[in-house]
Amino acid sequence: MNAIGTRIRKIREERGIKQEYIAGEMGITQSNYGRLEKDDNRLTANKLIRISEILNVSVSVLFGEKATNVIHENKGDNAQAHIGTFVQQDKDHIESLKEEIKFLRKILADKNGLVSV
């Protein structure tokens, strides 16, 4: 069994959902759905998206990624403020990385006797 299929099966079983139900929602047979849980090669992006919708999880959960900077509760008008904070933090991080790259390029240029760019 593959890692993504294993996660799908685990989530499905934890929620008490049968393969037949998901297969019906996807418009395929139960045996075809069962193969999706067993074979990575059969899982397309569209199928993963549909399975995530049926299981009510994000696709990133199916890949085993941990969600960061996600708002899990309805905070009304505050939600947009929280998202704005995360966006600004990301922009600040990108700027610091750009500065670090510039600094490292200068060190390399100085070390190699080149004119820094």
Residues 80, 41 contacting (CB under 8 angstroms): no
Q: Where are the domains of the chain?
A: 3-62, 76-117
The percentage of residues in the chain with a pLDDT greater than 90, rounded to a whole number, is 33
User: What does each C-alpha distance from 11 to 17, 27, 53, 101, 111 come to in angstroms?
Assistant: 9, 20, 12, 42, 54
**3-62: CATH architecture:** Orthogonal Bundle (1.10)
The percentage of residues in the chain with a pLDDT greater than 70, rounded to a whole number, is 76
Looking at residue 55, what is its pLDDT?
A: 94
Render pLDDT for 41-84 as a digit per residue (tens, 0 to 9). Answer: 778 888 999 999 999 988 888 888 765 545 444 545 555 555 55
Numbers of helices and strands, H then E, in the chain? 6, 0
Looking at residue 27, what is its pLDDT?
A: 95
